[in-house]
A and B are shown apart, each in its own frame.
Chain A
Amino acid sequence: MQSKFASTLLALAAAAAVAVSGAATARDLMIVGFGGGFQDNARKHLFQAYEKASGVKVKDDVYNGEMAKIYSMVKAGDVTWDVVMVEAPELVRGCEDGIFDKMDWSVVKKDKFIPGGTSTCGAGAVLWGLSLFYDQTKIKNGPTTYAELWDTAKFPGKRSFRSTPKGTLEIALLADGVPAADVYKVLATPAGQQRAFAKLDKIKPQIVWWKSGTQPVQLVGSGEVAYAVGFTGRTVRANAENGDKYPLLWKTLLYSVDYWAVVKGSPNAKEGFKMIDWITDAKPLLALAEDWAVSPANKEAAANPKIAVKNPGMLSSHVADGLFIDTEFWVQNGEDLEAKFNAWVAK
């Protein structure tokens, strides 16, 4: 009986060893994004299309913007993500921290991008935006500006904001009457920062904070909150699926650019640059735009009139109304404001 037990044990151990080692063999190109409908459609029109065109196998995954995994990968020298989609300030800081490779402009054609669509370590992917929305089947006349959003008497109910200072502090200043052009000048001063936090304090008990892109639509949909500031792409998608419940208030738009970056130390870096060049071309982006409302950072694609007509969520048609989230400001002040924000939110 002992020997039978021992041999079963050995067999299990061997199986486990094989299973464990099997996970570490040579791998396909891994591209990681923020998930959601964009990624589902990008998988079809960008990643799998590239696989067909180039013969290189591509796998994709989702992350929440948490840079720590990338930092620990690079530090350990065991990089398992090759291409990552990053928000602008994280890209610049990551570049300074040496976790992203400098973009290979000999492979990726620099001049196809819109102004602001390139960075030392990143190639522009899409524009993304935050805007206010609510369920207009439940609420006939909701707030149309941030100043109105602060009026809890006229517009009762909970509000939901993104649980980061970026995008939220600007809203507070806009609500307090600071003109869009001056927002970052004011926010750069200690007095301006205090002003933003004081403004947020006024409605803090009514705020429900969200961390993941799916939450705003879910919170409004389930009635947990009355008004939310969420990603425009998801709002547009929710409208397409559930009938036009959520009005897109373009005057409340804040927008920025998401970039593709190659992780430093990736064994598939060369292929990664080639892929980035391919998926930032006009043709695949236009195909993607047929299924999902994107605002590409590619000049030619963005200028294509068919897209603007088909996708009401096309940000480039609305950027005149909106506030561009200043990358350089957040690179310089991000750490400090994040610390202050987290202290404030945890009080």
Chain B
Amino acid sequence: MAISRNNLLAAALIAPLFAVVVASFIVPLAVTLWTAIGNPEVRETLPRTTAALRGWNGSDLPAEAAFAAVAAELAQAQESQSIGPLARRLNFEEPGLRALLLKTARAKDRLSAPYRTSLVELDARWGDASLWRLIARNAAPLTTLYLLRSLDLTLTPDGKIATAPADESIFLALFARTFVISFWVTVLCVLLGYPVAYTLSTLSTRWANVGMALVLIPFWTSILVRTTAWFILLQREGPVNALLLGLGIVDAPVTMIFTRFAVYIAMVHVLLPFVVLPLYSVMKGINPAYLRAAASLGAPPWKRFVRVYLPLTMPGVAAGGLMVFMLAVGFYITPVLVGGPEDQMVSYFIAFFTNQTINWGMAAALACLLLAMTAILVVVARLIVPGFRLGSVSP
């Protein structure tokens, strides 16, 4: 089997991009997945304790060696300033453990052999076997905790799956909210975009070009600029309120900024061109002969629309709609700038866990789930719209 010269050349041409995509995109995604399930803190900070716990059967309490090891290693970790990640990890699993770990670390001088008694004297929790089981369990290199928490589940100290406490269970609701908002934005975009695309497709070339240019201008304007514009317009003392007051529609300024309404308006504004453009291109391609044939067969206008035109435009609707939905699901900037805390979507929390709480595990877990959902959408899209490619949107 000789690889033709053509294909060798082709491979050489494709290789650079392929290498860059793998190194700078596929590998980082793999790193993210690893971050979502990685569990290095206990193993790295408490190696001797981990070793001492290896032979333990899980009931009663571990041997003196484990107690001695944990006392020494916690003190050592505090001295070398490496106790933070361990404290954060275990505290995330079981609130209150940070305080325990730090207290134990700082009490180094007051602890002495036999550590089995002195540690329990310091704090009764050290005499609780379930704490030790938790530590032993987290010596494993992988964990499902972050993924579970992203689905409002958690692990009990003994390692069983349970529902997370109600005051921390927001993620399922968050995913639901993300999909609901994206769905309604898509519906609105299609409802608004369809008539516009149709009208533009019926205009003379000159006017159609003008119309398309007017659609392209916002398309080429950055999302941030457009969202900022809405941020300004929807202020209490901004022009929209001024207009409403001037027209007498309301008596007092309406709060529009930082509300769900603002998120919808801004998102529809940003995503509308993504529906108009493919629809226009599909509609331009529809042969008017079909409609004339239907008319000559006696079909009234509404029937011509419903039975002939609409089905012909469905690929455009599906392509545009799916594109809008997928973009909406991953939206970050618009809800952050114009929405309130109750309007934030999954992407906000991914950013939050990365930048604010420094819980990379949760950020990565949410990102992986979001990616999985998007992947499912793409598969569904392929099934519904044959030949669905994202390259089908041409400006």
User: Residues on A close to B: CB < 8 A?
Assistant: 66-69, 71, 93-98, 102, 158, 163, 197, 208-209, 222-224, 264, 332, 335-336, 338-340, 342-347
Contact = CB atoms under 8 A, between A and B. Distances in A.
Given A98-B80, A222-B236, A68 B355 contact: yes
Contacts of A163: 341
Contacts of A158: 255
A208 B341 CA distance: 9
Nearest to A338: B357
Contacts of B64: none
Interface stretch (B25-33, B94-102, B306-314): B94-102
A144 to B, nearest CB: 25
A96 B168 contact: no
Interface string B62-82: 000000000000000010111
A159 to B, nearest CB: 13
Contacts, number: 83
26 contacts: A66-B355, A67-B358, A69-B355, A96-B78, A96-B81, A96-B83, A96-B84, A96-B87, A96-B102, A223-B253, A224-B236, A224-B257, A335-B88, A335-B91, A336-B91, A340-B167, A340-B168, A342-B170, A342-B349, A342-B352, A343-B169, A344-B167, A345-B342, A346-B174, A346-B341, A347-B173
Contacts of A197: 167
A259 to B, nearest CB: 16
A332 B85 contact: no
Contacts of B78: 96
B170 A346 contact: yes
Contacts of A340: 167-168
Contact of A223 (B99, B237, B257, B341): B237
Q: Which of A69, A94, A224, A342 has the most CB of B within 10 A?
A: A342
Given A96-B84, A335-B92, A342-B352, A223 B236 contact: yes
A102 B173 CA distance: 43
8 smallest CB-CB distances across A and B, nearest first, come from A97-B84, A98-B81, A96-B84, A68-B355, A345-B341, A332-B99, A336-B95, A343-B170
Contacts of A343: 167-170
B59 interface: no
Nearest to A96: B84
Contacts of B83: 96
Given A222-B237, A332-B98, A335-B88, A346 B344 contact: yes
B394 interface: no
Q: Which of B82, B99, B169, B253 has the most CB of A within 10 A?
A: B99
Nearest to B345: A346
Contacts of B170: 342-343, 346-347
A102 to B, nearest CB: 8
B235 interface: yes
A102 B81 CA distance: 9
Nearest to B258: A208
Interface string B89-121: 001100110110010000000000000000000
Contact of A264 (B81, B87, B342, B356): B81
Interface string B35-62: 0000000000000000000000000000
Contacts of A335: 88, 91-92, 95, 98, 357
Contacts of A339: 168, 357
Contacts of A346: 170, 174, 341-342, 344, 349
B344 A71 contact: no
Given A223-B236, A335-B92, A95 B168 contact: no
B354 A68 contact: yes
Contacts of B237: 222-224
A94 B81 CA distance: 9
B98 A68 contact: no
B263 to A, nearest CB: 13
Nearest to A204: B342
A335 B78 CA distance: 19
Nearest to B236: A224
A90 to B, nearest CB: 10
Interface string B148-188: 00000000000000000001111001100000000000000
A98 B236 contact: no
A71 B167 contact: no
A221 to B, nearest CB: 10
B358 A209 contact: no
B358 A98 contact: no
Nearest to B105: A96
B169 A222 contact: no
Nearest to A194: B167
A3 B342 CA distance: 58
Nearest to A340: B167
A67 B102 CA distance: 21
Q: Which of B167, B236, B253, B342 has the most CB of A within 10 A?
A: B167
Given A335-B88, A346-B341, A346-B344, 14 more contacts: A68-B355, A93-B84, A95-B81, A96-B84, A97-B81, A98-B80, A98-B81, A209-B341, A224-B255, A335-B91, A343-B169, A345-B342, A346-B349, A347-B173
A47 to B, nearest CB: 26
Contacts of B235: 222, 224
A327 to B, nearest CB: 13
A67 B357 CA distance: 8
Nearest to A71: B358
Nearest to A93: B84
A165 to B, nearest CB: 12
Nearest to B177: A346
Contacts of A71: 358
Contacts of B258: 208
